[in-house]
Amino acid sequence: MKSMMGIIYTGERDAQLRELTTNRAVAAVPIYGRYRLIDFPLSAMVSSGIRNVGVILQRNYNSLMDHLGSGREWDLHGKRNGLVMLPPFMTRDNVGVYAGFLDAVRSNLHYLRRSKERYVIVTDTHILYSAKYDDMLAAHIDKNADVTMLYTADPSMRRNGAGRYIEVDENGRVTGLEVDPTIARMPYTYMECMCVRRELLIDLVDRAVSRGQYHLTRDLLMNGIYEGTLRVYGYEYTGKAWFIDSVQAYFEASMELMDAETRRNFFDTDRPVLTKLRDEMPSRYVAGANVKNCLVADGCVIEGTVENSILFRGVHIEKGAVVKNSIIMQDGCVQKDAEIDHCILDKQAVIREETRLIGPRNYPIVVAKDLIV
Amino acid sequence: MPAKKRCVAMLLAGGQGSRLGILTKQMAKPAVPFGCKYRIIDFPLSNCTNSNIDVVGVLTQYRPLELNAYIASGAPWDLDLVSGGVFVLPPYHSGASGEWYKGTANAIYQNLAFIAQYNPDYVLILSGDHIYKMDYAAMINHHEKMGADATIAVRQVPWEEASRFGIMNTDENFNIVEFEEKPKNPKSNNASMGVYVFTWEKLRKYLIQDEADPTSSNDFGKNIIPAMLGDGQKMVAYSFNDYWKDVGTIESLWEANMDLLADKPEIDLHDKKFRIYARNLGMPPHHIVDGAVVENCLITEGCEIMGCVKHSILSSGVIVEDGAEVIDSVIMPGAVIRKGAVVRRAIVAENAEVTSGCVVGENEGLIAVVGPGVKMPENTQVKAGEQYAEN
């Protein structure tokens, strides 16, 4: 499907992820042993046939740039198209930080103008899901829609005081939209992913920003729906999705994805999730290691006990160490006879010998990157 | 004309490796999977990358499809370069002539023009059937320092095994004075590793000379080395005594895999300064399900372990169902071990399916093998030393 391009917004929304986002964008948050959040929409775009992807960077984008590189791992390093980084930049018109998605697109209109694809898929990165954008585009064309919004009926995707909710009529047309209500009244959660014709997006953005509007959903879509100026349709996503809007949500999503059935449905072998490679050796389970229900990436050395946990690449669990219900990111180490439960160790964190760190069930302890406890 | 290079590596990957039986029926030996996520050729290729050698010719002949697809652009080894890279070199026709590679020396002879493009000082000859980590740059430096015409890497093998190898007899300065192919009564235990550095001009001269001799079998060991020795060229032995293993037979391939499971493996794949690179399939991390038993194993991405695995190598995407038992075995990528199957001292090749009730291998004796892509009927038994390829 050559007629579709992608734009990924790696917005700010990072306040509640605490230490996990002090130095990185939400899109760069490591998840599920070897990925970062952006890998999921980016890989889904690639497996939907998209070959031109613009990534709007906002703040803390250093680790994201490092992760994406030239786009080679996603086959997006070509000459004719590929991965385009769109960081904020200072000019007479730009202040150096995007005021919102519309402002970001306006600053990069030149990129949209010189792209050749007829349609654009726009998505955010704080929702973990695995969509088939090609199917979504087919529905978009079928309905002759101006904008198609991806939504889910999953009740776990609702939040009090946050989120975007929609209602649709029997034809699938979106008839109402509410943004950040204290209690959502509308039945479906908008997944902050939409499909739109490229030239229409250019036109809409230009008109909105010239009227001082910077908010995609609140301003642009809201007006289009209620004034009837846009044919806005919904496209239901029926797979599993997770809102990664807090440490607790991050933790729960990770644990739920460990369930074999959930994982098999989420990871489609025909549509692999691609990520930056590290060329780690396979993981080593030493005699005496005791492992139950764990997800383990390459490069780990396991000598101790690990239960219900996720180990990222290059993690070392030393002899006598006990790890339960925890997530240990890249190159983390739990030393001899240490014990952790309900903890999230950010990259390169170390738990010293014989240290005990037990988090409460519903509020996992986050050990910041490079920290030694 | 590409820029001049100090050294060009030529990797001989054309052999069938018939002693690997059904494992090499569909693919050349260097493409055979090894150690969970590697293939044999990853070792010499990564050695080149780690030795800063950035032009590598890979000479292929037997069943090259799998190998070609695996090497492709060379990106996994950082060998997709403007100024060099990895090149697959099959035999080709030129005008009226053209022929298969007649021998190792002839394979290089047919590609003299390829090497000449880079006008190198030295040519490194490698083979694609050994597992080892070696800094070739150190060997080339040694060659240069000694002012040698040819340098041959040797390792000390146990005396009782010396008669299985090509043996280099040296003087006290490690100059080679005599070469004996598989001698009955070896005078030394310095065995050739099949890794040679030649000064380019000398190599070219001897390859052309060798080609002109219709009685020659066009082989480095049988013809080129003896001819150079006979002419009194300076031939030096370069001693290498780190881990090195020939994986040309089922038993040795299995053993080399098992070597990775030692308490302190002799070959350190963890070393970040000397990585072994491989093409990655992009699979999710592996999952050890509640109730699985995992003892002393190497496991990689994409695996799902529900059964009992002990002292084994589990490659990408392997599934071991509950109640299945895998002990002292090598399970290659994509293979499935169904409920209640038992695999002991065996190699299960790529994408094979060991169905329930099957018993592969025995507690002792030779290694059993299940061939690539085979789906075994239920309750089949494969005895020690047998190779199962029906279906």
From the CB of residue B113, how many other CB atoms can be counted at a distance below 10 Å? 8
Decide: A178 and A160 in contact? Cβ < 8 Å.
no
Q: What is the pLDDT of residue A91?
A: 65
Q: Which residues share a beta bridge with B342?
A: B325, B359
B300 touches chain A (CB under 8 A): yes
> Do A292 and B285 lie within an 8 Å CB cutoff?
no
B75 touches chain A (CB under 8 A): yes
Phi, psi of A166 (to 5 degrees): -130, 160
Contacts with A162 (C-beta within 8 Å, 6 or more apart), sequence order: A180, A245
* ipTM confidence: 0.89
A69 touches chain B (CB under 8 A): no
User: Distance between CA atoms of A44 and A133, rounded to whole angstroms?
Assistant: 7
Mapping DSSP onto H, E and C, the string for B119-136 reads: CCCEEEEEECCEEECCCH
A296 touches chain B (CB under 8 A): yes
What is chain B's mean pLDDT, rounded?
Answer: 94
Asked if residue B391 has pLDDT above 60, the reply is no
Q: Which tokens hold the place of B285?
A: 């991390």
b/e map B236-263, b = 16+ CB within 10 Å: bbbebeebbbbbbebebbbebbbebbee
- Indicate the pLDDT class of residue B50, thresholds 50, 70 and 90: very high
> Do A291 and B294 lie within an 8 Å CB cutoff?
yes
- Give per-residue pLDDT as tens, B141-162: 999 999 999 999 999 999 988 8
- Indicate the pLDDT class of residue B131, thresholds 50, 70 and 90: very high
Q: For residue B300, give the nearest of A275, A282, A287 by CB distance.
A: A282
User: Distance between CA atoms of A291 and B292, rounded to whole angstroms?
Assistant: 8
Residue-level pLDDT, tens digit, chain A, 373 residues: 459 999 999 876 666 788 888 888 889 999 999 999 999 999 999 999 999 999 998 877 888 999 999 999 999 998 888 999 988 876 666 666 777 788 888 888 999 999 999 999 999 999 999 999 999 999 999 999 999 999 999 999 999 888 999 999 999 999 999 999 999 999 999 999 999 999 999 999 988 888 888 888 888 899 999 999 999 999 999 999 999 988 999 999 999 999 989 988 899 888 999 999 889 999 999 988 999 999 999 999 999 999 999 999 999 999 999 999 999 999 999 999 999 999 999 999 999 999 999 999 888 999 999 999 9
> Do A292 and B292 lie within an 8 Å CB cutoff?
yes
- Looking up tokens 């895999």, which residue turns up? B257
A273 contact residues in B (CB cutoff 8 A): 282, 284
> Do B287 and A260 lie within an 8 Å CB cutoff?
yes
Phi, psi of B229 (to 5 degrees): -65, -45
A287 touches chain B (CB under 8 A): yes
E strand spans, B3-89: 7-12, 33-34, 38-39, 55-59, 85-89
Residue A313: closest CA among chain B residues belongs to which residue?
Answer: B285
CA B137 to chain centre: 19
Q: Where on the phi/psi map is residue A71: left (φ > 0), alpha (ψ -120 to 50), or beta?
A: left
User: Distance between CA atoms of A81 and A16, rounded to whole angstroms?
Assistant: 35
> Do B284 and A275 lie within an 8 Å CB cutoff?
no
Least confident window among A231-240, B21-30, B41-50, B364-373? B21-30
Instruction: Say what the pTM is.
Output: 0.91
B42 touches chain A (CB under 8 A): no
Q: Chain B: nearest CA to A371, how far in angstroms?
A: 22
A333 touches chain B (CB under 8 A): no
- Give per-residue pLDDT as tens, B196-220: 999 999 999 999 999 999 999 999 9
